[in-house]
């Protein structure tokens, strides 16, 4: 098997001292970011993205683009694990994917008095979920990429359309809101020079807008600043439940025992989480809810759910971590981010001068396989750190609000400024922070906006290339079987919510008042 | 759940046509127009649903307190961003300066200090320590460690301070 040789090469790259050192730093940072409620994985990765430019260009001895991606991805792995700790101990989710853990994780820790078991169960299942996902990643990535190399503009455009359709059809928010955000993202991406004709557009005569709206300050604003503003509102409303944080070896063994009883659930959730995560636009959050639903559905003691059932911790955790890893698969192989976080990592690839997508496997195999190997190592490292450092991590929650809030703002501003040395980017960050906060309040999803902003240019380019090749005829998209299938699939996905509403309306025709107040 | 406020609709209505820029040829303008049109249609539907849903089922803000809590963070942040670059404008023959650029480090010291003093209610020497320590750590990490240059102050331009 060729894969094993490639993977061995990857391990050789990942085990390089500088890469291991940066992986360690990243995982610790990720855990801290995960624990802090005002700072999420996506914003953490976005804020630190400008630093990776210096890592990728060799500011540190021996560092290169592989070090940079190992660093960025490591933050994500840390955050995937770390967000859970505060959910279980304080009833405050550190990350959106840890919200599910409030249902059973906190009750197990508080009501049943087993915080150690709750934490250990979560870590063990996270680790197993991520491991399964990484193994699938190892074997699926190259075949997908090789297939993708044969794609022409029509197929590529169809893939983009499909990924947008999944955001609308499978999103948790109202589909029309997703559509509006998607269109806004495409619109923002179109600002500046037209990629085909070089014509200026949407710049309203401003020279500073000619280079387009940069993706990084927008993301830092939407996620970093937006989250700070949103958590400002919850201050004083929320009440911190404090549970002593200790994690003993006996907790780990107890959790392993519980895992053995639920091995089928955890493994199947991990596999499902992988395929869910590969779908563009869906990361760990959606998968965690799916995983909880599945765990409940197939449990013999449904009545225990919500009271501290361990399946209610292990099911969603396995799915969430698996989906988190899997969301890198479409990014690396096709150049389509699977989640907002992987969208930010993909922006990193562009900045380091790499083209995400199938060509990466041929031109930079060290990079791809180094990354894959680092996923194995990163999760192992995170797992060990989690077992050792829970009390320390729980202490971060005690850092006063009056220090942590301005500090995150300061770091966000450094992040947005230092990429292009531009004050305009700083203002874009601040403005989009307020917009992001407002969109959150209005329950508009942010993922479609970010994904569309990243993919906007390529989508337009492929669409227009295809239209030029087809002499302006949209029928060109149905010339190849693959693009036809993808477009039909996309249409079906968009229609799902519509069908659901119509069915709900038919069923609820007798009780319209109930439908008006969901 | 569908309580997208009327204000949302207003801002959208103002935004979409400006982005539209005549649909004309299938050139540079066609694609943004399409995106703007899709967004316009989607936001009209969202607004229609919001208006059709009886209001009051869920308020956007939980009381006045939370509005203030958000403004408390948002306003200092804006002032901070303005302070870094300074406030002023240029004409062809003269540059007007209302507030000189404080640069990143001085602005950060003021900003972190303000929070420690105002929200944290710390003793004054703690406030001073925080205001001094954070910019210093950032200076060492970024300016020396990563060799990232951050905006400098008017005192740097005058040659008084190293930042």
For residue A459, what is the nearest residue in chain B, using CA coordinates? B31
Query: Mind giving me the DSSP string for A98-113?
Result: GTTHHHHHHHHHHTS-
Q: Tens place of pLDDT for every residue, chain A, 518 residues?
A: 678 888 888 888 888 888 899 999 999 988 888 887 667 778 888 888 878 888 887 767 777 888 999 999 999 889 888 888 877 887 777 777 787 888 888 888 877 778 888 888 899 999 999 999 999 999 888 888 887 777 778 888 887 887 788 777 766 667 777 887 887 878 777 776 666 666 666 655 566 666 677 777 888 888 778 878 877 776 543 445 556 666 777 888 888 888 888 888 889 999 988 988 887 666 777 788 888 888 888 887 777 888 888 888 898 889 989 988 998 888 888 888 777 888 888 888 888 888 888 888 888 888 899 999 999 999 999 998 888 887 777 777 667 777 778 888 888 888 788 777 778 888 888 888 888 888 888 777 887 888 788 777 778 777 777 777 777 667 777 777 778 888 888 888 778 777 777 777 777 654 444 333 33
Q: How many residues does chain B have?
A: 163
Instruction: Name the DSSP class of B54.
Output: P
Question: Under an 8 A CB cutoff, do A194 and B1 touch?
Answer: no
> Contacts of residue A437 in chain B, CB cutoff 8 Å?
70, 74
Q: Residue A138: inside a domain, yes or no?
A: yes
Instruction: List the one residue out of A492, A392, A454, A466 whose CA is nearest residue A188.
Output: A454
Kindly give, in sequence order, each residue whose CB lies less than 8 Å from that of residue A509, ignoring residues fewer than 6 positions away: none
The model carries a pTM of 0.76
B115 touching A, CB under 8 A?
Answer: yes
Q: Residue A513: inside a domain, yes or no?
A: no
Instruction: List the one residue out of A96, A34, A35, A38 whose CA is nearest residue A402.
Output: A38
* d(C-alpha A480, C-alpha B5), whole Å: 44
In this complex, the residue of B61, B73, B111 whose CB is nearest that of residue A229 is B73
Q: Residue A511: inside a domain, yes or no?
A: no
Question: Which residue range(s) make up the domain with A223?
Answer: 2-503
- Minimal C-alpha gap between A95 and chain B (Å): 20
Q: Residue A168: inside a domain, yes or no?
A: yes
Counting one residue from chain A and one from chain B, the pairs whose CB atoms sit within 8 A come to 166
- Residue A192: strand pairing partners: A201
Q: Residue A161: inside a domain, yes or no?
A: yes
In this complex, the residue of B31, B38, B84 whose CB is nearest that of residue A423 is B84
Angle at A476 between CA A474 and CA A479, to 5 degrees: 140
> Contacts of residue A516 in chain B, CB cutoff 8 Å?
53-54, 57
- Both tokens of A371, joined, read 């990354």
Q: Residue A109: inside a domain, yes or no?
A: yes
ipTM: 0.77
Q: Residue A510: inside a domain, yes or no?
A: no
Number of domains forming the structure of chain A: 1
Q: Residue A255: inside a domain, yes or no?
A: yes
b/e B35-73 (16+ beta carbons within 10 angstroms → b) = bbebbbebbbbbbebbeebeeeeeeeeeeeebeebbebb
């Amino acid at each position: 098997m060729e894969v094993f040789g490639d993977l061995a090469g990857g391990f050789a790259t990942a085990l390089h001292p500088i890469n291991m050192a940066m992986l360690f730093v990243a995982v610790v940072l990720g855990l801290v970011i995960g624990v802090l409620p005002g700072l999420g994985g996506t914003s953490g990765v976005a804020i630190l993205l400008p630093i990776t430019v210096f890592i990728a260009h060799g500011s540190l001895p021996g560092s290169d683009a592989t070090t940079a991606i190992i660093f960025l991805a490591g933050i994500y792995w840390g955050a995937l694990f770390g967000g859970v700790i505060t959910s279980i101990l304080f009833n405050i989710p550190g990350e959106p994917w840890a919200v599910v853990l409030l249902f059973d994780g906190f009750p197990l820790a508080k009501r049943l008095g087993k915080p150690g078991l709750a934490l250990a169960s979560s870590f063990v299942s996270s680790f197993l979920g991520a491991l399964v996902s990484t193994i699938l990643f190892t074997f699926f990535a190259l075949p997908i990429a090789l297939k993708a190399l044969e794609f022409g503009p029509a197929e590529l455009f169809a893939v983009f359309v499909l990924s947008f359709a999944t955001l609308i059809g499978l999103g948790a928010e109202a589909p029309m809101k997703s559509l509006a955000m998607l269109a806004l993202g495409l619109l923002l991406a179109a600002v500046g020079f037209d990629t085909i004709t070089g014509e200026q557009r949407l710049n309203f005569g401003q020279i500073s807008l000619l280079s387009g709206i940069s993706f990084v300050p927008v993301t830092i604003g939407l996620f970093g600043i937006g989250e700070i503003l949103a958590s400002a509102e919850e201050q004083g409303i929320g009440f911190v439940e404090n549970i002593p944080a200790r994690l003993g070896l006996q907790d780990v063994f107890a959790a392993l025992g519980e895992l053995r009883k639920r091995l089928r659930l955890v493994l199947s959730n991990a596999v499902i989480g992988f395929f869910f995560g590969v779908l563009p636009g869906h990361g760990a959050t959606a998968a965690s809810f799916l995983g909880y639903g599945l765990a409940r559905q197939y449990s013999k003691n449904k009545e225990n759910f919500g009271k501290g059932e361990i399946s209610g911790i292990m099911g969603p955790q396995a799915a969430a971590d698996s989906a988190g890893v899997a969301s890198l698969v479409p990014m690396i192989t096709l150049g389509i981010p699977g989640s907002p976080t992987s969208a930010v990592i993909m922006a990193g690839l562009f900045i380091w001068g790499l083209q995400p997508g199938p060509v990466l496997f041929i031109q930079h195999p060290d990079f791809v396989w180094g990354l894959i190997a680092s996923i194995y190592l990163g999760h192992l490292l995170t797992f060990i750190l989690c077992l050792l450092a829970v009390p320390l991590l729980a202490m971060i929650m005690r850092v006063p609000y009056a220090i942590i809030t301005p500090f995150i703002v300061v770091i966000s501003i450094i992040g947005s400024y230092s990429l292009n040395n531009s004050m305009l980017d700083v203002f874009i960050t601040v403005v989009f922070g307020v917009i992001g906060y407002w969109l959150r309040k209005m329950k508009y999803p942010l993922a479609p906006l970010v994904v569309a902003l990243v993919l906007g240019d390529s989508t337009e380019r492929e669409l227009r290339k295809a239209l030029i090749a087809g002499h302006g005829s949209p029928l060109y998209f149905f010339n190849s079987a693959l693009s036809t299938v993808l477009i039909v699939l996309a249409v079906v996905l968009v229609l799902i919510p519509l069908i659901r509403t119509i069915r709900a309306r038919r069923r609820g025709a007798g009780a319209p008042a109930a439908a008006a107040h969901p | 759940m569908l309580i997208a406020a009327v204000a949302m609709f207003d801002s959208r209505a103002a935004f979409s046509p400006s982005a539209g820029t005549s649909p004309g040829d299938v050139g540079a303008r066609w694609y943004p127009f399409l995106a703007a049109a899709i967004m316009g249609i989607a936001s009209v539907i969202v607004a229609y649903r919001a208006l059709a849903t009886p209001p009051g089922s869920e308020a956007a803000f939980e009381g006045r307190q939370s509005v203030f809590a958000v403004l408390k963070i948002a306003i200092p942040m804006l002032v901070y961003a303005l302070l870094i670059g300074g406030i002023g404008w240029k004409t062809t023959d003269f540059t007007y300066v209302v507030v000189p650029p404080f640069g990143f480090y001085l602005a950060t010291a003021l900003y972190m200090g303000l929070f420690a003093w105002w929200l944290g209610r710390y003793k004054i020497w703690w406030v001073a320590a925080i205001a001094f320590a954070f910019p210093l750590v950032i200076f060492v990490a970024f300016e020396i460690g990563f060799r990232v240059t951050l905006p400098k102050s008017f005192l740097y331009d005058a040659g008084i301070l190293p930042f």
